[in-house]
Amino acid sequence: MEQERKKLVFKNTDWGDKVLDPKNMQPWNYDSWLSILTASGFKPEPEPFRPTFIRGKVISGDTGEIIQDIESDSLENFQSYFADFETAEVLAKRYGGKVIEQLHGGLENGPRFEPPMSYAIEFPSGQILNAGLMASYFIRMPEDVFSGAAEKAVNLLIEKPKK
pLDDT in tens, 145-161: 888 899 999 999 998 87
Q: What pLDDT does 114 receive?
A: 64
- Choice between 74 and 88, residue whose per-residue pLDDT is larger: 88
Is residue 20 situated within a structural domain? Answer: yes
CB-count exposure of residue 163 (10 Å: 0-12, 13-18, 19+): exposed
Q: What pLDDT does 8 receive?
A: 87
- Choice between 35 and 69, residue whose per-residue pLDDT is larger: 35
Full residue range of the structural domain in which residue 104 is found? 56-157
pLDDT in tens, 16-42: 888 898 888 899 999 999 999 999 999
User: Average pLDDT over the chain, rounded to whole?
Assistant: 83
Q: Does residue 113 surpass a pLDDT of 70?
A: no
DSSP bridge partners of 118: 102
What crossing angle do the helices spanning 131-140 and 85-95 adopt, rounded to 10°? 90
Is residue 14 situated within a structural domain? Answer: yes
pLDDT-based confidence at residue 1 (cuts at 50, 70, 90): very low
Is residue 162 situated within a structural domain? Answer: no
Is residue 1 situated within a structural domain? Answer: no
| pLDDT above 70 coverage of the chain, percent | 78
Q: What pLDDT does 137 receive?
A: 93
- Output phi, psi for 70, to 5 deg: -100, 120
How many domains does the chain divide into?
Answer: 2
Q: What pLDDT does 39 receive?
A: 93
pLDDT in tens, 94-111: 999 999 998 766 556 666
Is residue 152 situated within a structural domain? Answer: yes
- Output phi, psi for 13, to 5 deg: -85, 175
Is residue 13 situated within a structural domain? Answer: yes
- Of 40-49, 54-63, 135-144, least confident by mean pLDDT is 54-63
Phi-psi sector, 157: left (phi>0), alpha (psi -120 to 50), beta: alpha
Residues 65 and 25 in one domain: no
Q: What pLDDT does 55 receive?
A: 73
Residues 121 and 150 in one domain: yes
End-to-end Cα separation, the chain, in angstroms: 54
Is residue 113 situated within a structural domain? Answer: yes
